[in-house]
Structure 1
Amino acid sequence: MTLLHSFARTRGRRLGVATAAAGLLAALLAAGPVSATPDPGDRSAAPRGVSKSAQERAEAAIAAGDIPGQDEVVHSANIEHLTNIPKDALPGTNSDLAFQGRYAFAGNYDGFRIFDISNPKAPKTVAQVLCPGSQNDISVSGNLLFLSTDSSRSDNSCASTTQPATEKSSWEGMKVFDISDKKNPKYVAAVETACGSHTHTLVPEKKNVYVYVSSYSPSASFPDCQPPHDGISVIKVPRKAPQKAAVVNFPVLFPGEGPDGGGNPGAPTNPGVSKTTGCHDITVLPSKDLAAGACMGDGILFSIKDPEHPKVIDQVQDNVNFAFWHSATFNQTAKKVVFTDELGGGGAATCNAAIGPNRGADGIYDIVGKGDKSRLVFRGYYKIPRHQADTENCVAHNGSLIPVKGKDLMVQAWYQGGVSVWDFTDSTKPKEIAYFERGPLTTDTLTVGGSWSAYYYNGYIYSNDIAKGFDVLKLSDRRTAPAERIRLDELNTQTQPDYFD
């Protein structure tokens, strides 16, 4: 059941043990009925059965008040749930978010949706664009919108269908849209990249936008995705001629001998850790010429003084508690990086007592030293302090800073663990200060859902829920109140602004 305005009640949570080339086709949709069928090849995984005991534990935890009831909305007293906008013409998995002026741009495995958020209590759909290709990671810069395609497609059009990566003619990579008319985005360019584009990060300049493309999982059987692949694609996009966008470099971030490159070897050397074959996500802090990469089995810090030729400064691993380095966030002073571990790939129940507080969590690293001598030093872990049912996929996922000078505050998505606001001013003693979540989608199957991305933008928290749609939250807390005075014209969280410049 989809809820337009979910019933919410505030209560305490006991810590229970329950667990563009010629021929590009833009299939554009106004807010209304779908005129084409989204590709089932880009849908999220089907629900998986759970044991009878797991089902019983979930039901018992709901009855005891340890977790919210199925689809029930709960939150801390300092958060208000303003509204929920259900999915409409794009039924696929909701993914990332970007912001510009009064607009929010919401990625979806079937395309993207543009909201007018002038009134955060009542966002209005401006456009919905059908363009299947998981996972449609999204960002904006000026009049350009960028969309990642990380599934093998028959061609680069928005009418493409799934096609095996073993076929040379298959396409994956970056798509570029002109959004000067928000009601009528126009598909203007496509750039194929090795192993596709799982995520991407913008390094904007006046005349050009550089795009760092993160992708991974090569195979000798994939003509356009050969091992070891230990690098990223760098695309240069001229703002006035985006159709000339092209790959200008492929810097190898993990040089090494042999077919496996120089990143984390994974199992059997490091059991339970992903072998590094590229990066999952990169965050840049242009004001400091720095970037942090979450690269499967490795975390890296690198310089982007020359955006076409990024240079690695430091490389770290955590072979005890980190399974898959997923994303990175700098604090505002560039003295810390928060890395996330996507244990279970985002589809597993890892926020339970059995997994514990240090796995599927955030890792907080201080940056010690200066310039090319900077080093990442581990300080502590953060994980939401509420156990979830074994039918709820839950793990650290996408978030952003809440800009308060002198403090390190962050809002973050945890899939079905909901949205968490936390303080890591003391790197060794992080603590949660607010939360919002829904109860499990189901109590008899593990069904993927929950908040994919939760970001703070101009006084509000916006969350893109995989299954339930677009949520708007209002945080009212003296600790975060100074952030309400900060206003941005644009926000892509992987291109962190200098809030206090």
Structure 2
Amino acid sequence: MNPRGRRRWNRVVIVAAAALLGGTIAPAAVAQETPGVDEIVHSPNMRQLANIPKQAPFDTEQAFGTDIAFTDDHAIVGNYDGFTVYDISKPKKPRIVSQVVCPGGQNDVSVSGDLLFLSTDYARTNDSCTSEPAQASDPDSWEGIKVFDISDLSAPEYVAAVRTDCGSHTHTMVPDPSRGSVFVYVSSYSPAPELPNCQPPHDKISIVEVPVDSPEDAEVVATPVLFPDGGNPGGDNPDGTRRSATTGCHDLTAYPEKNLMAGACMGDGVLFDLSDKLNPRVLDRVQDNENFAFWHSATFNNSGTKVVFTDELGGGGLPTCNARFGPNRGADGIYDITGEGVDKALEFRSYYKIPRHQTETENCVAHNGSLIPVAGRDIMVQSWYQGGVSVWDFTDSANPKEIGYWERGPLSDTQPITGGTWSAYYYNGHVYSSDIQKGLDVLAVNDPRTAPAKSVRYDEFNAQTQPSYGRG
């Protein structure tokens, strides 16, 4: 082993040992030596089981891998150019079942039964899967939600499209069996006077109803205004970054069993009552104008008494996991839900950020994750772009701590290249990570604190539509 390799190995052991001992990994334990290009490092309680690289035609640098949804023994991974269906019945040997070419970006996905929903947030010439890029200033351009029939996962069928104002950056699926429908809550933002299909003010979400037996009849059924006062006006930060104004929502996470929804809405974090699915009621709104730049996504704990909000400082393109930005920026914000009924409120408790500094060529910031289903504890797995995958415990809201990690070294040690893990979710015993450039990774977590999760099984999983497990 050469000296440089030994320093890397020592760093892994020091940091991983701290994780296994259950303590927060102190900044002093983070050596400045970082993994080499594409070098994999991890804590002893995590390992890679498999990787399937992106396949043509999704194998270009601009064909970003995006979000993941799960149905039975399959993972469906979005890509800016379409989506890929993987058979994960053998986690050590996943295989591609089908690929659907349907450019649109971001092409975030969710599933409900035999239906798949796909978000399009880039202006296209029409709503087909053969459309071309268009100018958003063109009144005939199209953005919104696409619906596919996936009863045959080897040959998904495109069945419907619904235009929504400002497109669909992300969406959240909420079934309503009483109506025989699925509601799709569409998050979109960034209106401008010159955009005919995205006019200001845009202080709302769009709710699309998709009848299960006739998805071709999908339509927008409500556009509730969430910010009648306009929301956070935004502003400049001392370090030269900008705090986002609220002009819509980036992401919504529903917890149907609790009749709750959390909104990460650019400059605001929002807690909703979802008893009336067509009229989400705002229970509380919070802002963090000191450390949060862009409220990106949200995750409840299993008991519905906490929300983890993420701050996507720099939009996912900056190296923010470093000394310059410190431990509280580009991080998670942990909020307890206090009060009862209409008096529920969000109270800040602490920040969590991965404790390993990344290089200046690595885009790194808090991104998508999900709970690891352990009754009685709050444990989450989360993507940090080129910061890799972190498993962390926030049972004590004021003192979160990392208990495991897995990451690759930078894509380049000379120039920034957008990459890393977009989404990392726990599903039926394993962690599945969608890497922007490297494809699908399957990871194992072997830790006594997460072991009970292996007994929890789902037939379907969408991270933005949280299921419950066990007691709580």
Same fold (TM over 0.5): yes
Q: Using the alignment, how far apart are the partners of 1:204 and 1:466 within structure 2?
A: 29
| Aligned residue number for residue 239 of structure 1 | 212
Deviation at 1:217, TM superposition (A): 0.2
Distance 2:346 2:434 in 1: 31
Matched letter for residue 434 of structure 2:
N
**Are the counterparts in 2 of residues 13 and 65 from structure 1 also a CA contact under 8 Å?**
no
The residue type paired with residue 353 of structure 2 is K
**Cα deviation 1:323-356 (Å, max 9, x = unaligned):** 0000000000010000000000000000001110
Inter-partner Cα distance in structure 2 for 1:9 and 1:210: 49
Per-residue deviation, 1:250: 0.4
Q: Which residue in the other structure is 2:250 paired with? A: 280
Secondary structure at the residue paired with 2:235?
coil
Among 411, 435, 442, the residue aligned to 2:381? 411
Q: Secondary structure in 2 aligned to 1:484? A: helix
Measure how far apart 1:67 and its partner are. 1.1
Aligned residue in 2 for 1:266: 234
Question: In structure 2, the residue corresponding to 1:446 is in which secondary structure?
Answer: coil
Q: Distance in 2 between matches of 1:109 and 1:478?
A: 37
Structure 2 unaligned segments of length 5 or more: list them: 1-7, 16-30
Once residues 376 and 368 of structure 2 are traced to their aligned partners in structure 1, the CA distance between those partners, rounded to angstroms, is 23
Spell out structure 1 runs of 4+ moving beyond 6 A: none
1:360 to 330, 337, 350: 330
Cα distance, 1:500 vs structure 2: 2.1
Secondary structure of 1:197's partner? coil
User: Counterparts of 1:293 and 1:278 in 2: how far apart (Å)?
Assistant: 10
Are 1:142 and 2:109 an aligned pair? Answer: no
Q: Deviations over 1:440-497 (max 9, x none)?
A: 1101111110000000000000000000110000100000000000000100000000
Contact 1:13 1:66 in 2 (8 A): no
How far has the Cα of 1:121 moved from its partner? 0.3
For 1:12, what is the secondary structure of its paired residue? helix
Q: 1:133-170 CA deviation, whole Å, 9 max, x = no partner?
A: 00000000000000000000000000001110101000
Aligned pair count? 441
Please state if 1:466 is matched with 2:439: no
* CA–CA distance in structure 2, aligned partners of residues 9 and 212 of structure 1: 46
**Shift in Å at residue 228 of structure 1?**
1.2
**Which letter does structure 2 place at the counterpart of 1:157?**
S
Among 147, 153, 158, the alignment partner of 1:176 is 147
Counterparts of 1:348 and 1:432 in 2: how far apart (Å)? Answer: 22
Given the superposition, is the C-alpha separation of residues 269 and 467 from structure 1 closer, same or farther in structure 2, using an over 3 Å criterion?
closer
Query: Per the alignment, in what secondary structure is the counterpart of residue 372 of structure 1?
Result: helix
- Equivalent of 2:186 in 213, 237, 243: 213
Aligned-pair distance for 1:372? 1.0
| AA partner of residue 35 (structure 2) | P
- Looking at structure 2, the residues matched to 500 and 149 of structure 1 have their Cα atoms a distance apart, in angstroms, of 36
Q: Residue 230 of structure 1 aligns to which amino acid in structure 2?
A: D
Taking the aligned partners of 1:343 and 1:86, their CA distance within structure 2 comes to 28
* Deviation at residue 309 of structure 1 after TM alignment: 1.0
- How many Å apart are 1:267 and its aligned residue? 1.9
Aligned pair 1:222/2:195, yes or no?
A: yes
Could you list the runs of 5+ residues in structure 1 that have no partner in the other structure? 1-7, 16-63, 257-261
The alignment-based identity, stated in percent, is 63
Counterpart of 1:94 in structure 2: which amino acid?
Answer: G
> CA 1:230 to 1:13, structure 2 compared with 1: closer, same or farther past 3 Å?
farther
Tell me, yes or no, if structure 1 residue 447 matches structure 2 residue 417.
yes
Structure 2 counterpart of 1:125: 96
Post-superposition CA distance 1:109-144 (Å, at most 9, x none)? 000000000000000100000000000000000000
Determine helix, strand or coil for the equivalent of 1:293: strand
Contact 2:354 2:402 in 1 (8 A): yes
Change in Cα spacing, 1:298 to 1:13, as seen in structure 2 (3 Å) is farther
Q: What TM-score do the two structures reach when normalised by structure 1? A: 0.86
Residue 437 of structure 1, CA deviation: 0.2
CA RMSD of aligned residues (A): 1.5
Tell me, yes or no, if structure 1 residue 483 matches structure 2 residue 453: yes
Q: Structure 2 residue aligned with 1:154, among 122, 125, 145?
A: 125
- Matched to 2:224, the amino acid is P
1:324 maps to amino acid = F
- Partner deviation per Cα, 1:268-294 (whole Å, 9 max, x = no partner): 699831000000000000000000000
Of 21, 28, 35, which aligns to 1:68? 35
Q: How does 1:285-304 map to 2 (within 5 A)?
A: 285-304=255-274
1:140 alignment partner AA: V
- One-letter amino acid matched to 1:307: K
TM-score by length of 2: 0.92
Return the alpha-carbon distance in structure 2 between the equivalents of residues 169 and 500 of structure 1.
49
